[in-house]
Structure 1
Amino acid sequence: MFTSLRKSDFIGVVSSALCLIHCLATPFLFIAQAHSAHVNEAKPIWWSCLDIIFLVLSFMAIYKTAGSTTKKWVKQLLWFNWALLTFIIVNEKVHWLPLPEAVVYFPSIALIALHIYNSKYCHCDDTECCVNNV
């Protein structure tokens, strides 16, 4: 159980960190594209698909981590931040609310921090402590 918990936290940290890097790199991609193309402002389709890929990877990592963490508040914060990140990304695509670009960084950083915290402090001392944890 412990190695499974560590793997899901590692996947969560990596996917959240890559998502954060992706969000940070987007403005630089547009600047580089503007200098080279002068006309086309559209994001490449593969770049937009990365959002969904990171959300799916993050969902799987949180699902596994939430099922085996020893801290109920960590589970709740993981799901809250994932839902917030999902809302922000969907909002970015459909333009429900005018939100600043930087708002996406907060749930991404929170997910990274929560996975790191969980991997360090939410350990099971035996194989039974994480099973059906409430």
Structure 2
Amino acid sequence: MSISIKKSDTWGALASSLCLVHCLATPFLFTAQASAICCHSNAPTWWYGIDFVFLIISFFAIYRSAKNSTSPFIKKGLWVCWSFLFVLIVNERLEWLHLSKLYLYATAISLVVLHLYNLKYCQCKKGLCCSFPR
């Protein structure tokens, strides 16, 4: 598998992976900060803005990947996962429902897996790709 930084799936997998690391690191960073500085556990605004930067990058990566993919399942899966991730992040900011972070982690991991699968198996231009006739 040749990974080129020019491929939208590479960008999408990278953005989703960094989003996952960002989400996993947040509780640890701010727990450590709260321990060091008493009574101040709010995250800086720029830290929450990173979520939306990842969403924007992944939107364009998914747009391009869905255009180039030969699998209808992968196309739909990418958009469903991105939509779910978007709703989860907006929900987290606006606090509509209290949901486990596991949903966020699972969705980000799903995006990484779908992008990597699409990168490896769904980019051919001849005949059969992803077990689906073109």
> 2:105 corresponds to which letter in structure 1?
Y
The superposition leaves residues 63-116 of structure 1 with CA deviations (integer Å, 9 ceiling, x where unpaired) of 000011000110000000000000000000001111012210011000000000
Contact between 2:8 and 2:64, CA under 8 Å: does it hold in 1? Answer: yes
1:62 is paired with a residue whose SS is: helix
Q: 2:58 & 2:41 partners in 1: Cα distance? A: 29
Higher helix share goes to which structure?
A: 1
Question: Aligned runs of 1:18-37 on 2, under 5 Å?
Answer: 18-37=18-37
Q: Displacement of 1:20 after TM fit?
A: 0.2
1:76 to 2:71 alignment: no
Q: Which runs of 5+ in 1 are unaligned?
A: none
Equivalence for 1:121: 121
Equivalence for 1:92: 92
Equivalence for 2:104: 104
Q: Which runs of 5+ in 2 are unaligned?
A: none
1:17 to 2:20 alignment: no
Equivalence for 2:49: 49
Structure with higher RCO (Cα < 8 A, 6+ apart): 1
Q: 1:98 & 1:56 partners in 2: Cα distance? A: 24
> 1:31 corresponds to which letter in structure 2?
T
> 1:60 corresponds to which letter in structure 2?
F
Q: 1:69 & 1:18 partners in 2: Cα distance? A: 23
Identical residues among aligned pairs (%): 46
> 1:38 corresponds to which letter in structure 2?
C
1:123 is paired with a residue whose SS is: coil
Equivalence for 1:63: 63
CA RMSD, aligned part only? 2.1
Q: Displacement of 1:123 after TM fit?
A: 2.0
Contact between 2:31 and 2:41, CA under 8 Å: does it hold in 1? Answer: no
Deviates more, 1:96-105 or 1:9-18: 96-105
Q: 2:100 & 2:110 partners in 1: Cα distance? A: 18
Contact between 2:11 and 2:61, CA under 8 Å: does it hold in 1? Answer: yes
Q: Count matched residues.
A: 126
Q: Displacement of 1:23 after TM fit?
A: 0.4
Q: 2:123 & 2:63 partners in 1: Cα distance? A: 17
1:98 is paired with a residue whose SS is: coil
Q: Displacement of 1:39 after TM fit?
A: 1.2
